[in-house]
Amino acid sequence: MTGDLTISSLRGGAIDAISSADLDRKTALAQESATRWFARRVSLRSPLDAALPDRPGRPDKPVLTPPTQVEKRSLNTLKGRIALLHAIAHIELNAVDLALDIVARFATEQVPNSFFDGWMLVAFEEAKHFRMVRARLNDLGADYGDLPAHDGLWQAAHSTRNDLTARLAVVPLILEARGLDVTPSLQAKMRQTGDLESAAVLDVIYNDEKGHVAVGAKWFRFLCAREKRDPAKAFQELVRANFRGPLKPPFNDLARAEAGLTPSFYRSLASISYA
């Protein structure tokens, strides 16, 4: 699959992957761009790089709907488990494009190359997650695109397209951190239903996501230190300016803290007050 992948630079490969509506090609480009970058076989930027699209390439399906119109189903049924896995596949696909977008959009920022190392590892792993979840859907007689999906993730990213610090606050430190909060209960429910294969996929995702939040926290703190800003206060200001609605507890405080996201960041933004 990777033999026909022409990659002009890291930014060029990321833009090509974002633009691709062929999801096999998108994930292959994401992983091959990462592999070549890790080996320093491509430069960061090239004059040959295409323009960054406003929206990622997508196949005709799934149909995108507002989040409130996506139906919730019980995990005790096969249809319910397929619906959950479909929603996770959609999240992981968006996560591939979001990680690539951070690299491509902010390739001219004054940051060390290790910044791009971190985000390309995230992109590589999100591509792996999407493929794993899609394969599990196939095992259950379904595929990505069979059900409608929502468009909220990309909208959140679009609002922070001109500010790297805000992008890090919203994408890894809110959207990815939310995965740390909700995934353990989903793992447990999958095991209760006897779907150990799906639970094993969620285990891989959960363990990798801790690292993704850690990458976000590391570089958020780096930028705040450079700007002489208090990270927790800066996070709260950026979230209020760029994210709609309160953060929803319960929080997985332990997993968040392991990733460098301590309660001082998010407790005051939660939808309930804490004594």
3-state secondary structure of 156: helix
Cβ atoms 208, 180 nearer than 8 A: no
Tens-place pLDDT, residues 71-128: 777 888 999 999 999 999 999 999 999 999 999 999 999 999 999 999 999 999 999 9
Burial 33-50 (b: 16+ CB within 10 A, else e): bbebbeeeebeeeeeebe
pLDDT at 7: 92
Cβ atoms 56, 104 nearer than 8 A: no
Two tokens at 100? 């690539």
Write down the residue that tokens 């230190």 correspond to: 225
- Residue 122's CB: how many other CB atoms inside 10 A? 29
- Residue with the bigger pLDDT between 141 and 244: it is 141
Confidence of residue 151 (pLDDT cuts 50, 70, 90): confident
- Any bridge partners for residue 270, and if so which? 247
φ/ψ of residue 64, rounded to 5: -95, 130
Tens-place pLDDT, residues 195-249: 999 999 999 999 999 999 999 999 999 999 999 999 999 999 999 999 887 788 8
Secondary structure letter of residue 5 according to DSSP:
-
- Residue 143's CB: how many other CB atoms inside 10 A? 15
3-state secondary structure of 65: strand
Query: Per-residue pLDDT for 272 more than 60?
Result: no
Tens-place pLDDT, residues 1-59: 444 678 989 999 999 999 999 999 999 999 999 999 999 999 999 999 999 998 999 99
Cβ atoms 168, 216 nearer than 8 A: yes
pTM, entire model:
0.93
